[in-house]
Amino acid sequence: MRLATRRDVERRLHEIYWLMKQSYTNIIVEGEKILNPFNLYTTQEYLESDKLGLVLRKTLLHGYSVPIIVVRGRLGRLYIVDGHHRAKTATWLRSMIKAYVLNIPGYHKPWAKPITAIKTINPPITIDDPVLKTWRHMVNIIGFIEQSHGKTPRLWVEKIKMTRLLATQPLLEHDIPEKIIDEPILVYFISNEYYIIDGHTRACLKLLGGWEDIKSVVFTIGEPIGIIETAKLIGKPRISIDYCRKPLRLSI
């Protein structure tokens, strides 16, 4: 899967301009602007979890930043016509977003909804890539929390001390795969506590390997979520040598 470059977007902007010219005569090219993603409206029905996970990974870990394309339409409403996954990521990161803006006063999509309301789906054909699968799983979890609570999560990357991590499930006995992906774990932050939502095994392997901290994708909606109650029921165990050592065994 390949993400768009700035050159790709500039080429796409040219195509969209001439396409819009077929229906609208009064088009003003405003150029590149900095927009608040929470003011944007969608022109598509859903996001693909594979692509959203990849965009999130590239943005968080590699500083990916490519403009989206927006039409300023009727009553000044801002419609995304290219870059929905980048815009959604910006809402989670609470960051402003670069956008090429076309001003078309007559443009209107009555069915459009705020970018915060767009749903994420798993595409029917998935890529057999363990890294992409990990990030797809993370965005599915984040998206589920967002939809079930009706609040936009806030995300960031943080290196967390192992001693501060709380487990939300017992670590079941299993073989360690020959190759473990070195990707961040997913953590929920509430009341100054860090709960692992995804990545218990990765965290344990780092701990047993001598690491004192681990890179984490941290998110919160500012209130407790269901899995926190699960953690309380099992005693809120911390990630420790005792928690990790017995269930993990090397595959032969």
What 3-state DSSP class applies to 146? helix
The answer to whether residue 133 is domain-embedded is: no
* pLDDT level of residue 208 (50, 70, 90 thresholds): confident
Q: In the block, which residue shows the tokens 């797809």?
A: 136
Q: Is the pLDDT of residue 133 over 80?
A: yes
Digit-coded pLDDT (tens) for 53-76: 999 999 999 999 999 999 999 999
What pLDDT, on a 0 to 100 scale, did the predictor assign at position 124?
A: 78
Domain of 18, CATH number, reads 3.90.1530.10
In the predicted model, is pLDDT for residue 4 greater than 50? Answer: yes
pLDDT at 126 (0 to 100):
66
Do the beta carbons of residue 66 and residue 9 sit within 8 Å?
yes
The answer to whether residue 132 is domain-embedded is no
Amino acid at 250: L
Beta bridge pairs of residue 215: 159
The pLDDT confidence band at residue 252, using thresholds 50, 70 and 90, is very low
The band of 248, judged by pLDDT with boundaries at 50, 70 and 90, is low
Task: For residue range 103-115, list pLDDT tens digits in order.
Answer: 999 999 999 999 9
For position 250, what pLDDT does the model report? 46
- Is the predicted pLDDT of residue 251 greater than 70, yes or no? no
Q: How far apart are CA 219 and CA 186, in angstroms?
A: 8
CA distance 126 to 38: 29
Q: Residue 222 domain-assigned?
A: yes
- Residue 177, SS3 per DSSP: coil
Which residue(s) pair with 189 in the sheet?
194
- Nearest partner of 166 among 245, 246, 248, 235, judged by Cα: 235
Shared domain for 159 and 96, answered yes or no, is: no
Residue 230 in domain: yes
pLDDT-derived band at 234 (thresholds 50, 70, 90) equals: confident
Query: Which residues, 6+ apart, have CB-to-CB distance to 145 below 8 Å?
Result: 153, 219, 221, 225
Same-domain check for residues 53 and 115: yes
Domain boundary among 105, 120, 135: 120
Residue 15 lies in a domain: yes
The reply to whether 22 and 115 lie within a common domain is: yes
Residue 183 sits in the same domain as residue 245: yes
Q: How confident is the model at residue 244 (pLDDT cuts 50, 70, 90)?
A: confident
The answer to whether residue 169 is domain-embedded is yes
Q: State how far the Cα of 183 lies from the Cα of 160, in Å rounded to an integer.
A: 14
* Average pLDDT estimate for 229-244: 89
Q: Which two tokens stand for residue 165?
A: 């991590």
Q: Are residues 16 and 116 in the same domain?
A: yes
Is the domain of 188 the same as that of 102?
A: no
Q: Tell me, what amino acid is at 204?
A: C
Q: Does pLDDT of 143 surpass 60?
A: yes
Domain that holds residue 16: 6-120
What gap in Å lies between CA 93 and CA 59, rounded to an integer? Answer: 10
- pLDDT tens track for 24-46: 989 999 999 999 999 999 999 99
Q: Does a structural domain hold residue 125?
A: no
Report residue 197 as tokens.
């939502």
Tell me the pLDDT of the chain averaged across its residues: 91
- Is 85 in the same domain as 23? yes
pLDDT at 188 over 90: yes
Q: Which two tokens stand for residue 90?
A: 């910006």
Q: How far is CA 86 from the centre of its chain?
A: 9
Q: How many domains does the chain have?
A: 2
- Domain termination site, one of 120, 140, 174: 120
Regarding whether 166 and 102 lie in a shared domain, the answer is no
- The H or E element that residue 78 is part of is strand 78-82
136 pLDDT higher than 80: yes
Is residue 131, in this structure, part of any structural domain at all?
no
The answer to whether residues 226 and 145 touch, using CB atoms and an 8 Å cutoff, is: no
Q: How far apart are CA 198 and CA 229, in angstroms?
A: 16
Q: What is the mean pLDDT of residues 146-161?
A: 96
Domain at 161, CATH number: 3.90.1530
Same domain (yes/no): 81, 185: no
